[in-house]
Structure 1
Amino acid sequence: MGLLHETKAPGGAWSLLAAGLAEFFCTAAFLFIATGTVTSGCHTADTARQSGATDQELETVEPGACFLGSTNLLNIAMAFGLSIFVLVYAAASFSGGHLNPAITIAMFLTSRVSLVRAAVYIICQLAGAIVGSALVRAADPNGFKAALGAANRLNTWANVGTGLGVELILTAIFVFIVFAAVDKKRGAHSAHMPVLAPLAIGIVVFLCHLVAVPIDGCSVNPARSFGTAVVARTWAHHWIFWVGPIVGGAAAGLLYEALAYRAPLFGGPVEEQGREPGTSPAGPQEYTV
């Protein structure tokens, strides 16, 4: 099937619309829950004091004073990991549950989604991220201001090389785990794995945030960074949160493709297996969570 054609996809235009809406809604929900945890955490007594609010009133603190630091690190990491777990599970039957342009691009480069579907997914993910972040600002304007919307930015001690390297490496690990978790061929050899795929994805997101929140707030998802940047109007070093995840994710996806479909476990080279992208009920992609 050509990567530019959607007409052969099961369900046609309706399948694509439903998938795009699922990506939009679940990405918006992800931003609201995950970044909302950051902004609401700014109201806790210890974090408020560290932000310069002597009486837990955040109205007068400097924007961004409540950084995604170590005080609430475990809460933040759990919010990101668990929200991805449940929302990937919710979106899986519609779109495959990408919720992340880095994953969508990796899926496109390995012929799991068409160019048209990849473009629709990314547009919906970015739009959903903006809406989710805007809802956080509407619900908690003082916490949003104190945390600068939980926007990704380098901590004072971190440099560009550190941020870019961490985002690239963590996204590569993340995307490799995603590919392994949702691989049907792999699932044929371990039938219980597809059931655990959303959990595995949520756990790796949790682990990534434990590592990178104190460095740059942890992105591994350009939509997450873009949505908060648009609403908070902060663009410092924003390119890091596109280049790192996309390069790392693409490299991991291509590596998985090269390794998995040349491994004896999977029956040899891909051309000998009759693999055809577009056989999934979710549309023109072979694998879905």
Structure 2
Amino acid sequence: MPFRNIAVGRPEEATHPDALKAALAEFISTLIFVFAGEGSGMAFNKLTDNGSTTPAGLVAAALAHAFGLFVAVSVGANISGGHVNPAVTFGAFVGGNITLLRGILYWIAQLLGSTVACLLLKFATNGLTTSAFSLSSGVGVWNAFVLEIVMTFGLVYTVYATAIDPKRGSVGIIAPIAIGFIVGANILAGGAFDGASMNPAVSFGPALVSWTWENHWVYWAGPLIGGGIAGLVYEFFFISHTTHEQLPSTDY
């Protein structure tokens, strides 16, 4: 059972140099990702005079997020594992692949990275608004909640299969590409409905800087539940605990 591998961690882990380096890597990776993803949305709004979302705009957002996440995961993989997402960190925690204390450090770093990215965008664009995630017309809160659960399940399941599973073999080489692709694909699937966050940090930064909190809980609860379910399902059904040793956090 994955529950037996869950660990709080030792207090000194919170100040250990390796943990702090990993947190810094998460901060930088999340900053890179949010700056590219949120920036692409702001650029589209400027080019269209804040017009409604078009198919071309949705494809552009999907590509920007896919490329940005591919880079963000790649540059952080050897240091922190390149989570770049509190839901991924939570999924790794419930599967016993990261301690609670290190996970909290990652969360803080990810939220700070997203916030700093949005502040930099606001400054660099001379005060343009960072758009908070919101529901499209006709989409209910519970519709978006389920959508976020399903999309984040697919994301974290992909992370487990390509980056965490000790049997991943050569598939691990393409992990950043696969993770970027699933996010891009999910944005094409759900972007027109609720923005397709799948990442509480990505939602938090724009909401904080623009101070827009309507239905914000959806973008936390949905991804965390989806990520947690994916972690439990993959650990329980596909990773053999008779031969599996817990992965060091630096391996993912």
TM-score, length of structure 1 as denominator length: 0.80
Q: Flag the 1:140–1:175 CA change in 2: closer, same or farther, 3 A.
A: same
Return 241-250 or 152-161, whichever deviates more: 152-161
Structure-to-structure mapping, 1:178-217, within 5 angstroms: 178-187=159-168, 191-217=169-195
Q: Flag the 1:162–1:67 CA change in 2: closer, same or farther, 3 A.
A: farther
Q: Flag the 1:138–1:6 CA change in 2: closer, same or farther, 3 A.
A: same
Q: Which runs of 4+ in 1 moved over 6 A?
A: none
Give the secondary-structure state (helix, strand or coil) at the position aligned to 1:224. Answer: helix
Give the secondary-structure state (helix, strand or coil) at the position aligned to 2:78. Answer: helix
User: What residue in structure 2 maps to residue 106 of structure 1?
Assistant: 91
Q: Flag the 1:6–1:196 CA change in 2: closer, same or farther, 3 A.
A: farther
Of 8, 17, 30, the residue aligned with 1:4 is: 8
Q: Flag the 1:274–1:82 CA change in 2: closer, same or farther, 3 A.
A: closer
Give the secondary-structure state (helix, strand or coil) at the position aligned to 1:158. Answer: coil
Share of identical aligned residues, percent?
32
Of 14, 17, 21, the residue aligned with 2:20 is: 17
Q: Aligned-pair distance for 1:140? A: 1.5
The two structures, once aligned, show a CA RMSD in angstroms of 2.0
Q: Provide the aligned length of Structure 1 versus Structure 2.
A: 247
Q: Flag the 1:14–1:256 CA change in 2: closer, same or farther, 3 A.
A: same
User: What residue in structure 2 maps to residue 119 of structure 1?
Assistant: 104
Q: Flag the 1:230–1:167 CA change in 2: closer, same or farther, 3 A.
A: same
The yes-or-no answer on 1:168 pairing with 2:149 is: yes
Aligned-partner Cα distance in 2 for 1:151–1:15: 33
User: What residue in structure 1 maps to residue 75 of structure 2?
Assistant: 90
Aligned-partner Cα distance in 2 for 1:71–1:200: 23
Of 24, 35, 40, the residue aligned with 2:38 is: 35
Q: Structure 1 unaligned segments of length 5 or more: list them.
A: 52-65, 262-268
Query: Contact (CA 8 Å) 1:4, 1:114: kept in 2 or not?
Result: yes
Q: Aligned-pair distance for 1:95? A: 0.2
Q: Flag the 1:186–1:24 CA change in 2: closer, same or farther, 3 A.
A: same
Q: Aligned-pair distance for 1:183? A: 3.1
Query: Contact (CA 8 Å) 2:6, 2:94: kept in 1 or not?
Result: no
Query: Contact (CA 8 Å) 2:72, 2:82: kept in 1 or not?
Result: yes
Structure-to-structure mapping, 1:213-252, within 5 angstroms: 213-252=191-230
The yes-or-no answer on 1:128 pairing with 2:116 is: no
Q: Aligned-pair distance for 1:274? A: 4.9
Aligned-partner Cα distance in 1 for 2:238–2:6: 23
Give the secondary-structure state (helix, strand or coil) at the position aligned to 1:192. Answer: helix
